[in-house]
Amino acid sequence: MSQGPITSTINNMADVWEAYRDELDGVECQVRANLDSSVALVNTVAGHILNSGGKRIRPLLLLLSARLCGYAGRDHHRLGSLVEFIHTATLLHDDVVDDADIRRGLRTARKIWGNQISILVGDYLYSKAICEIVDFQNQGINEVLAEACKKMAEGEVLQLQYNGNPSMPEADYFKIVEHKTASLIAAACRMGAILADASDTQQDALFQFGQHLGVAFQVTDDTLDYTANDERLGKALGQDLRQGKASLPLLHLLHHCSEQDRLMIIDRMDTRTLTTEDLDRLIGLMNDAGSIAYATDLARAYIGKAQHNLSLFEDCTAKRALLVVADYMVTRDR
């Protein structure tokens, strides 16, 4: 099957969004169609977060992976929408665990309707996605998604286990990232390949692409928590520390700062407090210690690995789009 014509204008994310606008519109139609619970509040709560400006990165990666492997059908729209349902379920649950008030610049569902509703609607979205995916009658898709959901839950638990602990080993940070974030991104890429009846080699390459991409995505996200424009980020900077999370830039700093500064950071993690002055001081320390550069360089290294995973595929529009999406993971500002 053809992988599609080569389009020389795929140079940035604006080109990708434009080239695949119709594909993503197909996903959006499926998202709306799948919000069909007989309980109106379920649709209202789910719609609040699904319509809040998410980038649809996971469905996009599934679409591109399918097209890269020669898929010519339209079931990838439906499958992409279900991956977005699962991702949205994790966000609803995360906001409860983190006591978050703002997501994407809007009040969180838990802040509007309460924790119980947020948890239950998250459960509904998980269940709805699984029920719909079973209809594909594809054991390969079932297996990769089940494994991803298991890993996401394990990642959440491991993160909670280390909450407030500044001595978390860097290896465990990456284990959390690989499970909590990268697993669903990698699954989306493999599911696109499975839908196209791609070879095991192609499936494995796209899975590894997604795994490396997912790690870079989360490391960048954790770095933006200290460097982004907070209005564009959609939340206040320093939220990870306020929630007791030791992300990669902070772990690096804790090993490269004075004992006095280290004790200050530990105190803020323990008390879940961070003033504007504390944040300014912390960012200054990170810049002096090279912590931001360290995390950024690692994210870029993972993107390099991800892009290498695509080397076995011939040049085509979908491949160029995937390479651009990979680069976007570490150049975005929110």
pLDDT at 231: 59
Instruction: Give how far the C-alpha of residue 83 lies from the chain's centroid of Cα atoms, to the nearest Å.
Output: 11
pLDDT of residue 117: 98
Contact assessment for residue 208 and residue 81, using Cβ atoms and an 8 Å cutoff: no
For the question of whether the overall pTM of this predicted structure is more than 0.85, the answer is yes
Q: How far is C-alpha 234 from the chain's CA centre?
A: 16
For residue 106, the SS3 value is: strand
Cβ proximity of 212 and 329 under 8 Å: no
Could you count the other beta carbons within 10 Å of the beta carbon of residue 245? 22
Give the other-Cβ count within 10 Å of 265's Cβ. Answer: 21
Residue 143's nearest CA partner among 124, 130, 153, 157 is 130
* 77, two tokens: 């729209």
**Following CA atoms 249, 252, 257, 259 in sequence, which dihedral angle do they give, to the nearest 10 degrees?**
110
Please state, in angstroms and rounded to a whole number, the distance separating the CA atoms of residues 122 and 216: 26
Report pLDDT digits (tens) over 50-85. Answer: 998 888 999 999 999 999 999 999 999 999 999 999
Output the pLDDT for position 228: 83
CB 183, CB 148: distance < 8 Å: yes
Res 2: pLDDT: 39
State both tokens at 117: 């509703």
Please give the pLDDT value at position 234.
58
How many CA atoms lie within 13 Å of 151's alpha carbon, on the beta-carbon side?
21
pLDDT less than 50: residues of the chain: 1-5
DSSP 121-184: HHHHHHHHHHHHHHTT--HHHHHHHHHHHHHHHHHHHHHHHTTT-TT--HHHHHHHHIIIIIHH
CA–CA separation, 97 and 126 (whole Å):
17
The C-alpha atoms of residue 74 and residue 216 are separated, in whole angstroms, by 29
Closest CA to 133 of 78, 72, 183: 78
Nearest alpha-carbon partner for 222 in 258, 176, 171, 265: 176
The residues, ordered by sequence, that sit 6+ positions from 102 with a Cβ below 8 Å of its Cβ are 108, 111, 234, 235, 236
pLDDT, tens digit (0-9, with 9 covering 90-100), for 218-262? 999 999 999 987 655 556 789 899 999 999 999 999 999 999 999
In degrees rounded to 5, what are phi and psi of residue 333?
-115, 10
Domain boundaries, the chain: 13-331
Looking at residue 2, the DSSP 8-state letter turns out to be -
The domain made up of 13-331 has a fold known as: Farnesyl Diphosphate Synthase (1.10.600)
